């Protein structure tokens, strides 16, 4: 009669085994996306809304997929990692909105319009010391708006700052 196959003995982790654990500082972290043209930061909405606002670092290479959702990028509290930020746009049928702080600029000569609408209400040349967004790719059927902040954006930012203050425990002094 044939014996059933034995279950293989898989190695298991035992904390008391005395095996050396690599130091966290000695293991190099993988490179973050967005710092090489071959590995851009990909922001894809799918069928939903993707928002990037607040404090964040803007890498030099970003790919935006609007798909059928919407992408909203607020650069007002962002720190650019480069004076030139390459944005590769794939609009789809969604909406892409970018809010730039004063001094920033956007150049869209390399962006193919497709059937969609594009409204760029910012300067093409940045003020000294400020970055420029260089747009390429295709807009598709969707809508893309690049503008400076309006009253609604300022109200949204005040609300976000109040929320952050409450979370950190800082209460503003009321007079």
pTM of the model: 0.78
- Residue 3, pLDDT > 80, answer no
Q: Which residues contact 43 (CB under 8 A, 6 or more apart)?
A: 50, 52, 62, 63, 64, 65, 71, 73
Asked whether the predicted pLDDT for residue 166 surpasses 50, the reply is: yes
Q: pLDDT for 112-149, tens place per residue?
A: 988 889 999 999 999 999 999 999 999 889 899 999 99
Count other Cβ atoms within 10 Å, centred on residue 1. 2
Does the pLDDT value for residue 23 go beyond 60? no
């Amino acid at each position: 009669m044939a014996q059933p196959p034995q279950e293989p003995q898989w190695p298991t982790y035992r904390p008391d085994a005395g095996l050396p654990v690599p130091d966290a500082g000695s293991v190099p972290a993988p490179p973050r996306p967005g710092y090489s043209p071959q590995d851009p930061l990909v922001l894809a909405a799918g069928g939903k809304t993707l928002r990037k606002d607040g404090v964040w670092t803007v890498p030099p290479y970003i790919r935006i997929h609007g798909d059928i959702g919407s992408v909203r990028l607020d650069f007002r509290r962002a720190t650019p990692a480069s004076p030139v930020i390459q944005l590769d746009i794939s609009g789809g049928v969604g909406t892409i909105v970018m809010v730039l702080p004063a001094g920033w600029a956007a150049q869209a000569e390399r962006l193919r319009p497709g059937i969609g609408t594009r409204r760029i209400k910012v300067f093409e040349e940045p003020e000294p010391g400020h970055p420029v967004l260089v747009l390429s790719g295709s807009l598709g059927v969707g809508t893309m708006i690049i503008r400076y902040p309006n009253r609604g954006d300022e109200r949204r930012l005040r609300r976000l700052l109040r929320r952050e203050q409450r979370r950190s425990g800082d209460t503003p002094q009321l007079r």
